[in-house]
């Protein structure tokens, strides 16, 4: 079978491609299990080393270009994991770019999926940014999305399009509302939530970091490993498990920056914790304060989606892989 991963050269995309290669098989919409013969990564660039496997190929191009997408997907694509996006801070700073990639690109991709010979299965990476103030104390499966950022608006429209394409029988879609993913390695991106990883990543690397929100700021977070497992689990669930609406709030953890600092101290010691300072930034706060911080996810729990145990475990896992001198 042929699998497409948009945003495949990014951090999560690379983890997902590696996991798919290790798994070796996926289900099709006919319910059968098939060997993965080809994985095609689509991204706007290929910075840094990429995972190498004879089944994996990398293509650079514009996801909002239907001609490009049609050429890459052909008519024989079985599954699509749609991770490509302009992240929250970037979409807020450049409205036109966010609309082009997050909305026009998603619509173009769905149209090419619609043209496949066999109805493909599509897993869409949405975000908890689809919710916005005013918010209840705890967001439930019944809380209505009300985005307060361009990024959240674009993701919600993508969910609605995916659901309608699925309702019409053009594809088998499922959308996952991801928590903030921590800890992301490498250089910081334009995500407004980037500080949630920076508070761990930079101090463990021996660098000082300034966190642009107060210590009491809470985030709904998940580990990269749980996110990748959720993508694959979402793909493998039978279509009937999703019901009439295909978007789902994923499990996560509510973590304040004060708790993140304590987790850093437990794993990296006082020297690492001393590298953190707080200097709130009004621009970042305007975005972050619209996001939900506490969820109840009984639907996802009943469907078997993974949940991280605690933040310290997430930080230890990161340290073992990316800061081995600390993580031992």
pLDDT digit string (tens) for 35-53? 999 999 999 988 778 999 9
Residue 185 has pLDDT above 50, yes or no: yes
**Residue 266 CB coordination number (10 Å):** 14
Binned at pLDDT 50, 70 and 90, residue 191 comes out as: confident
Q: What is the pLDDT of residue 139?
A: 97
- Mode of pairing for the β-strands spanning 218-222 and 180-181: parallel
In whole angstroms, give the CA distance from residue 284 to residue 188: 14
Q: What is the pLDDT of residue 326?
A: 59
Can you give the pTM of this predicted structure? Answer: 0.94
Q: Is 318 a catalytic residue?
A: no
Residue 298 has pLDDT above 70, yes or no: yes
Q: CB under 8 Å to 309, separation ≥6 — which residues?
A: none
Q: What is the pLDDT of residue 328?
A: 46
Q: CB under 8 Å to 105, separation ≥6 — which residues?
A: 6, 62, 63, 64, 84
Q: CB under 8 Å to 141, separation ≥6 — which residues?
A: 249, 296, 297, 298, 299
Percent of all residues in the chain with a pLDDT value above 90, rounded to a whole number: 86
Percent helix / strand / coil, the chain, rounded to 5: 45, 20, 40
To the nearest whole number, what is the mean pLDDT of the chain?
Answer: 94
The residue-averaged pLDDT of 230-246 equals 96
Q: Does domain 2-179+223-249 have CATH number 1.10.287.10?
A: no
pLDDT tens digit string along 91-122?
999 999 999 999 999 999 999 999 999 999 99
Helix (H, G, I), strand (E, B), or coil: what is residue 212? coil
The residue-averaged pLDDT of 129-155 equals 94
Tokens of residue 251, six digits: 């499990």
**Structural element, H or E, at residue 325:** helix 324-327
Specify whether the CB–CB gap between 79 and 42 falls below 8 A.
Answer: no
Q: What is the pLDDT of residue 76?
A: 97
pLDDT tens digit string along 240-259?
999 999 999 999 999 999 99
Q: What is the pLDDT of residue 88?
A: 83
Percent of all residues in the chain with a pLDDT value above 70, rounded to a whole number: 98
In whole angstroms, give the CA distance from residue 328 to residue 321: 10
The residue annotated as part of the active site, out of 34, 58, 151, 322, is 151
β-bridge partners, 3? 39, 79
In whole angstroms, give the CA distance from residue 63 to residue 103: 10
Nearest by Cα to 231 from 51, 82, 76, 105:
82
Q: Which fold has domain 195-219+253-293+308-327?
A: UDP-galactose 4-epimerase; domain 1 (3.90.25)
* Sequence ranges of the domains in the chain: 2-179+223-249, 195-219+253-293+308-327
Q: What is the pLDDT of residue 255?
A: 97
């Amino acid at each position: 079978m042929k699998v497409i991963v948009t945003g495949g050269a990014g951090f999560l995309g690379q983890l997902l491609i590696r996991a798919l290669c290790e798994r070796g098989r996926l289900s099709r919409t006919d319910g059968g299990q098939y060997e993965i013969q080809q994985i095609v990564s689509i991204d706007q660039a290929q910075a840094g080393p990429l995972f190498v496997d004879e089944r994996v190929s990398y293509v650079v191009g514009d996801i909002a270009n239907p001609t490009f997408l049609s050429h890459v997907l052909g008519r024989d694509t079985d599954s699509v994991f749609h991770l490509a996006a302009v992240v929250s801070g970037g979409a807020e700073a450049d409205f036109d770019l966010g609309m082009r990639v997050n909305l026009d690109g998603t619509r173009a991709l769905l149209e090419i999926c619609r043209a496949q010979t066999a109805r493909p299965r599509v897993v869409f990476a949405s975000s908890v940014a689809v919710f916005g103030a005013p918010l209840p104390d705890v967001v439930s499966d019944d809380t209505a999305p009300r985005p307060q950022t361009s990024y959240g608006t674009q993701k919600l429209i993508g969910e609605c399009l995916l659901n309608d394409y699925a309702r019409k029988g053009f594809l088998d879609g499922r959308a996952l509302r991801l928590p903030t993913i921590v800890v992301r390695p490498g250089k910081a991106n334009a995500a407004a939530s980037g500080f949630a990883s920076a508070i761990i990543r930079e101090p463990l690397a021996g660098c000082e970091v300034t966190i642009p929100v107060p210590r009491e700021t809470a985030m709904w977070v998940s580990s990269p490993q749980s996110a990748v497992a959720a993508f694959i689990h979402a793909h493998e669930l039978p279509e009937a498990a999703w019901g009439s609406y295909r978007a789902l709030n994923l499990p996560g953890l509510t973590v304040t920056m004060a708790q993140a600092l304590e987790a850093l101290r437990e794993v990296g010691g006082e020297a690492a914790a001393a590298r953190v300072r707080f200097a709130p930034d009004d621009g970042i706060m305007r975005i972050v304060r619209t996001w939900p911080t506490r969820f109840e996810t009984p639907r996802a729990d009943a469907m078997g989606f993974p949940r991280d145990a605690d933040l310290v475990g997430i930080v230890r896992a990161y340290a073992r892989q990316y800061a081995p001198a600390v993580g031992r």
